[in-house]
Structure 1
């Protein structure tokens, strides 16, 4: 893995750590001002922080755990399991997200998920 690849992977891992520790405002520096979320259809990270706040209000013990992180140039793909959403200990939901990195910051994101986190965000 090149130094740039490691830095790009680390950027996504820092973003997940901001989510897991609920330091949502601390994630601001990780995103470009014109960050675009394809799942939310929004520009800027404010909508992302709002989505984070909504999901943890519904699932206060929620955490994301990177299972696989793959880097290809300016793209970082991460497959994450989601903890704290299944009280009966059932199968953990999964997230698959792809980020585009621009000048050391997250510039664009595509994502798919299964499980209750998807409906929680759609319901607001």
Structure 2
């Protein structure tokens, strides 16, 4: 599986289907998180989004573009509501290691 395919599958299963346990397939246990709102490690990521999916049961991300260079993939996406309206624009940057997400940075642009 390519790095882009790993990310596409992760977004579908984890973020859009809300299958928290799918992180075990796609995210390293020692996952490094550069977003100060989420703690370090795969289990912290799972906890953070398990809570988010309870408070936002319609949470959904649409990937618009991916750019890959070596072991790094940048993902431009939109958080959309059930009608497809953009709630937020996001750029996620991942470093992959051995076919799993190892490190993450992000930039968010809320829509007003």
Q: With structure 1 as the length reference, what TM-score do the two structures score?
A: 0.77
Q: What is residue 47 of structure 1 aligned with on the other side? A: 44
Q: Structure 1 residue aligned with 2:78, among 69, 74, 81?
A: 81
Task: Give the CA RMSD over aligned residues.
Answer: 2.1
Is the Cα contact below 8 Å between 1:59 and 1:84 reproduced in 2?
no
Aligned length: 109
Q: What is residue 68 of structure 2 aligned with on the other side? A: 71
Determine which structure has the larger strand proportion and give its number.
2
Take 1:62 and 1:69, find their aligned partners in 2: how far apart are those partners?
20
The structure number with the bigger radius of gyration is: 1
Take 1:43 and 1:92, find their aligned partners in 2: how far apart are those partners?
26
- Which aligned runs of 4 or more in structure 1 are off by greater than 4 angstroms? none
Determine which structure has the larger helix proportion and give its number.
1
Pairing 1:70-109 to 2, within 5 Å after superposition: 70-84=67-81, 91-109=86-104
Q: With structure 2 as the length reference, what TM-score do the two structures score?
A: 0.85
Take 1:106 and 1:12, find their aligned partners in 2: how far apart are those partners?
8
Q: What is residue 120 of structure 1 aligned with on the other side? A: none
